[in-house]
Chains A and B, each alone.
Chain A
Amino acid sequence: MVSDDVLRTHLQELRRGTVVVASLVALRHPDYGYALLQRLTAHGFPVDANTLYPLLRRLEEQGLLTSEWNTEESRPRKFYRTSGDGETVLGRLLDDLAAVQTSVTGLIEGVER
């Protein structure tokens, strides 16, 4: 019987990089931190606020996101959007994700045969 801790660690490892992919996809439509958090959660990417907020700033520093302050609503919010560079990186990441999926499928079928 595998302990919950072990399982949780492996799931975390597996999920770690997908938050970046999900954020880059989701931010093709500009959004602010909390709204993005809710969208990601709703789409099956549960992520902690204290992970996502610093991540957004880091992606912005790397030039993968651009940001803009929106002062039209009740409180000023910082909106992020996937940049051109971000789109390029996202393309590579999605290709790799697909490649991983293909490889896993191939491996499973190979083993079953």
Chain B
Amino acid sequence: MTSLTDRYLAATLRTVPAPRRTELADELRASIADMIEGRTAAGQDTAVAEREVLTELGHPDRLAARYADRPLQLIGPTYYLVWSSLLRRLLTLIPALVGVVVGVLEATVGDQPHRAIGAGIAAAFQAAVQIAFWVTVIFAVLERTRTPLDLPEWNVDQLPEAPLERDVTLTDTCASIAFLLLTLAFLPWQHYRSWVSDANGDNLPILDPALWTSWLPVLAAVLVASIGLEIVKYRAGRWTWPLVAVNAALGLAFALPVGYLVLADRLLNPALADRFEWLREGDNQGLSAGLVGVVVAAITIWDIADSVVKARRHHR
């Protein structure tokens, strides 16, 4: 019959290094027997005493870790800060890079360009998961081998500039990124599941499908770059002149192609005009195109002017 004590010893010694196991078993068994005896001498039932003693000694793995002087955490205070800053650095850059590269390849080389955004997001996510997993595994091993890292000591020169006041709030940044993601998602969505159907009841893309091999990947890339800009801007805390320049470039890189496509009547799916009579009547299409062009121009100019004003306010 295996007693509770036997089972407890087996569970504890399982993870203790082999050379010390036998001696530790003898000692721990004697200690448990002594503790039980101490309780039975006070008039307690042996079975109850055994249960209580083993409960008092606690989880076998915890006890074993104390004997073997093993850490009970994945990554301890020695490595935690290095681990987290390394992970932050890798995760801010590499997944986005991988996503953009895969997306661009899918859009240009692949035979299904409208899959580019999905493929890019999936690749970025994969990259992020892989990075997080392997970096963590490496640091968990370092923690257990107690390898010294020999990194330079922290010194005061590494202190970041204190942001005096934050112009760019987290709410603004989140809202902007959410809007950009929705716009990005709209591109494949309007292709597969627009609210318009053709005469057969099949789905009718709103934007000209021919654009998937020309302008749409460019616009998608600009949107992704704009998300990157939002993140950099948030970390900077305010508009700086380089950020204003990049923002203006991205704004124009989006507005000019859209404006051109709208005015050249190449943005909308030609099949859409066949479906809706209203678009063919008189100069309705031309008027709508003009209106869209004006709105796009107004938004872009407003955005650029706003960034310039905010940047100037800070540099005065």
Q: Enumerate chain A interface residues (CB-CB to B < 8 A).
A: 32-35, 38, 48-51, 53-54, 57-58, 75-78
Contact = CB atoms under 8 A, between A and B. Distances in A.
B33 interface: yes
Interface stretch (B55-63, B91-99, B100-108, B115-123): B55-63
Chain A contact surface mostly? helix
A33 B67 CA distance: 14
Given A49-B56, A58-B69, A78 B27 contact: yes
B31 A50 contact: no
Contact of B30 (A51, A54, A58, A77): A77
Contact of A51 (B31, B33, B66): B66
Interface residues of B, number: 19
Nearest to A38: B38
B6 interface: no
User: Which 8 A-B residue pairings sit nearest by Cβ, starting from the closest?
Assistant: A34-B34, A54-B66, A33-B31, A78-B27, A54-B67, A50-B57, A77-B30, A50-B58
Contacts of B58: 50
Contacts, number: 48
Given A34-B35, A34-B38, A38-B38, A50 B63 contact: yes
Contacts of A49: 31, 35, 56-57
Given A38-B38, A58-B69, A53 B31 contact: yes
A37 B27 CA distance: 14
Interface in B46-91: 56-58, 62-63, 66-67, 69
